[in-house]
Amino acid sequence: MASLPKIRRGRGGDTAPPVLAAPERPRPDVQRLEAFGLTWLNIEGPTEAETAWLAEHHEFHPLDLEDVLSRRRQRAKIDEYDDYLFVVLHFPRFDKRSGRLQAAELNLFVAEDLVITLPNEPLKPISALWTRCQTREDARERFMSRGSAYLLYEIVDTMFDYCFPILDKIGFKLDAIEDAIFEGKSDEVVRDISNVKQEIINYRKIIKPQRPTLRMLERASQRYAPQDLEIYFDDIVDKNERIWDSLENYKEVAEALEATNESVITHRLNDMLKLLTIMSAVILPLTFITGFYGQNIDALPFAHHGAFTPVVLGLIMAVIAGGLLWWVRKRRWL
């Protein structure tokens, strides 16, 4: 029987197992800016480290923190609590990897002296606004000296201003498609029409659900405004409605261009079929004559006249073909 290996023991008896060091907790990436009694925290792409930091330093509802951490797109909404507001909004962005228009989610916590922006990915307008406030005293005074509700307005207003260039690009694409259709490139623009229609649909999916949310935001933010900001939030609602009206117009234009393009393609196809039909009608009697005199039969009329085939028969065929073409032109079929 094989002997088992012996376990070595120290002279001092059993040694205690080594104590493993706890894994170092990742540090939360929180950008902080304070001015005029207002604190602005910006957290781009929040992870579990950032949500744990928020739970530790602020008394936010766990469901709100769960929504912040969720990778599924939340619906546009405003949750009102005694001490703060939780706002979820969506804005369009162009994804270069997929080549399509996607929705970027922006979560916000708004309290008496606190605004926290939590975009699920870096957003250029917010990054630019943050840099201005961080580097310039006049920007901090302009955006942060009038309370958290006014800073909220500036953030949302800046994001909506960013929506219009994307909207203009869709308009430019529609103009280019219209020019291409009437330049005879109907077959080439079929995919372009499909792509621009998909962009319009995606844009509408982003804008439409938050139309009532913006009207609620106008009312809910008043308790954090030292002055009447109703006219400011009315401007945001107006911008959202302008975007929606433009999308409705672009939707109708895209459908009209698609119908026009199909009509142009159908018209070209009909012209081709008409030309082929006329050619068949002209060639048919000529084929009959050549086939008739191509038979190896001695009893055919004028078959033994040497000049008949190359001269008379050719002349007869030319007259028939010319007569058919003249008749087609007279009927305006060609």
Output the 3-class SS for 268-334: HHHHHHHHHHHHHHHHHHHHHHHHHHCCCCCCCCCCCCCCHHHHHHHHHHHHHHHHHHHHHHHCCCC
Residues 223 and 276 in one domain: no
Question: 9 lies in a domain?
Answer: no
Residues 170 and 195 in one domain: yes
Number of domains in the chain: 2
Residues 132 and 210 in one domain: yes
Percent of the chain residues topping a pLDDT of 90 = 28
Position 164 pLDDT exceeds 50: yes
Question: 18 lies in a domain?
Answer: no
Residues 253 and 326 in one domain: no
End of a domain among 213, 245, 266? 266
Question: What is the side-by-side strand order in the sheet with 31-35?
Answer: 31-35, 38-42, 114-119, 100-110, 85-95, 77-80
Give the pLDDT score at 147. 86
303, 293 Cβ separation under 8 angstroms: yes
pLDDT band per the 50, 70, 90 thresholds, residue 3 = very low
Question: 3 lies in a domain?
Answer: no
Position 311 pLDDT exceeds 70: no
**Considering only 115-119, 128-132, 246-250, 303-307, which range has the smallest mean pLDDT?**
303-307
Question: 6 lies in a domain?
Answer: no
CATH number at residue 99: 3.30.460.20
Residues 133-148: pLDDT tens digits?
A: 999 999 999 998 888 8
Residues 253 and 286 in one domain: no
Residues 4-37: pLDDT tens digits?
A: 444 344 444 444 555 444 455 677 788 999 998 8
**Considering only 153-167, 218-232, 247-261, which range has the smallest mean pLDDT?**
218-232
Residues 205 and 278 in one domain: no
pLDDT higher at 291 or 17: 291
Residues 249 and 286 in one domain: no
Residues 147 and 171 in one domain: yes
Question: 1 lies in a domain?
Answer: no
Question: 8 lies in a domain?
Answer: no
Residues 261 and 287 in one domain: no
**Residues spanned by the domain of 326:** 268-295+302-330
Residues 98 and 205 in one domain: yes
Residue 292 burial (10 A CB sphere; 0-12, 13-18, 19+):
exposed
Question: 150 lies in a domain?
Answer: yes
The radius of gyration of the chain from alpha carbons, rounded to an integer in Å, stands at 38
Residues 139 and 55 in one domain: yes
**Helices vs strands, H then E, count in the chain:** 9, 6
Residues 53 and 36 in one domain: yes
Question: 61 lies in a domain?
Answer: yes
- The pLDDT mean for the chain works out to 80
